[in-house]
Amino acid sequence: MTGVPRVIGMLGGMSWESSALYYRLANELVRERLGGLHSARCLLASVDFADIEELQAAGRWDEAGQLLAEVAKGLEAGGADLLLLCTNTMHKVADQVQAAIGIPLLHLADATAEAVRRAGLPTVGLLGTAFTMEQDFYRDRLAGHGLTVLVPPADDRAEVHRIIYDELCLGTVREESRQIYRDVIARLADAGAEGVILGCTEIELLVSAADSPVPVFSTTRLHVEAAVDAALL
């Protein structure tokens, strides 16, 4: 590292359960790399997820993008040198947010795809919200890195989505839901997935490598690692 570390801007609250993990991981990683009492130089702006979820459900993505873009501008004005959008689903509006600011937005799917490619796994399963699994904004970004992306069948997608919104976003972790995810992952592996992307930041509250027969890629950790790499250049 040369000079003072750059300031990481975190646009969180979607949900705050996973944003807390972003904050903890950033500080742990900086301490691991720099030692002593070092911690991350960061700014966190946390939105009200109820407002975002209402816009998601109504398909009002442009309005959601405008809302997040305004918050991102505030982080930039506050001194952030780079931006993390602390959510997979809302990367649907990542380009809209990036267009509103002059600092780089580190795209979560790019950081994840790079890790998958380093592992040499060309075919991966994707778990996330229904928006992430079913729409093309995330799958196409991964495919742009040369990956083949598999998603679960409709019934499994519905259960994965339900558990995220009805349980994990509320801080509820149930063993029965962990088993549901294990079964979904196993079926993805049977279908040819050589690894599985945990493409929702809340899933990491429930599922770990021990729950999968193939490697799992934790998007929150990968996103934070990319940010710390950039901040400590």
169 is catalytic: no
Q: Which residue out of 42, 86, 87, 132 is catalytically annotated?
A: 87
∠ Cα 167 165 132 (to 5°): 135
Query: For this structure, is 220 an active site residue?
Result: no
Cis peptide before 46 (omega within 30 of 0): no
3-state SS, residue 60: coil
- The single residue of 200, 201, 219, 220 carrying the catalytic annotation is 200
Residues belonging to the active site: 87, 200
